[in-house]
Amino acid sequence: CEKDDKGGLSIVHQQTKCEECPFETTIRRPPGPGECCGKCETVACIGEDGFKVPFGEQSISKNKSCHYVKCLPSNGELGYELKYIPFECMDNLIEGCSEEHIKSDGCCKYCDTNITTEVPPIVTPSKCFRIPIIPSNSDGMFSVNHPVHGLCRNENEIPGLFKCLGNCLEHDPVFTSENTFESTCTCCKPSSSKQIMIPLQCKDGMNINIPFNNPVQCECSTCAV
């Protein structure tokens, strides 16, 4: 309520202009009851490469070897923090491995023998192995075409991956009552696995994670038709 030029009183409406939120990692929430402007809220971090990273997203660190970097909220001035999490090397990578065959990819130790790349020349029939994938062979092993971010692939080595490898026999054919021979083929494949997340880097700079069933045990079992 203000005085006008004639000495009278009149109601004057003033519009409140909301200021811009201070950081590019913040957004303004809708105003609550009795508020003109909603509060600024931090929803992302500035990652190692200078791009925005949503809370909860994790990728392989480019600045700290053998670590993941994860975007998390904090009570500090910026409202976020980049937390570095060390790689967890898979158990039993070097179990039963002779000392001269133990190697390291710089983060995790693994057993580097012929069995990591090919079936040994002398293999007991129907023998199926779980073997480590040499980390240097995992670069570019995973790729997806994301509907929003386009082609995404792992541009870094991933330690602790396994695969199944071995020879599985075909059972002797059996003569059935229908006057036909039937035989059963078995394949070396996982009998149990543990789901892990694989970080991928996309063409548009976004980082995503995809699930991978990492073999825990392998055995000869019926092949899929």
The CATH number for 215's domain is 2.10.90.10
Secondary structure class of 202 (helix, strand, coil): strand
pLDDT 10s per residue in the chain (225 long)?
Answer: 667 677 677 776 667 788 788 788 888 888 888 888 888 888 888 888 888 888 888 887 888 888 888 899 988 888 889 999 888 776 556 666 677 777 777 777 777 654 444 333 333 445 677 778 888 888 889 999 988 888 999 988 888 888 887 666 654 444 445 555 555 567 888 989 999 999 999 988 899 999 999 998 888 887 765
Q: At a CB cut-off of 8 Å and minimum separation 6, what does 117 contact?
A: 134
Task: Using the 3D structure, point to which of 35, 61, 86 is the last residue of a domain.
Answer: 86
Residues 77 and 128 in one domain: no
> Which tokens belong to 171?
């059972």
Which single residue is written with the structure tokens 């054919």?
A: 173
Residues 128 and 182 in one domain: yes
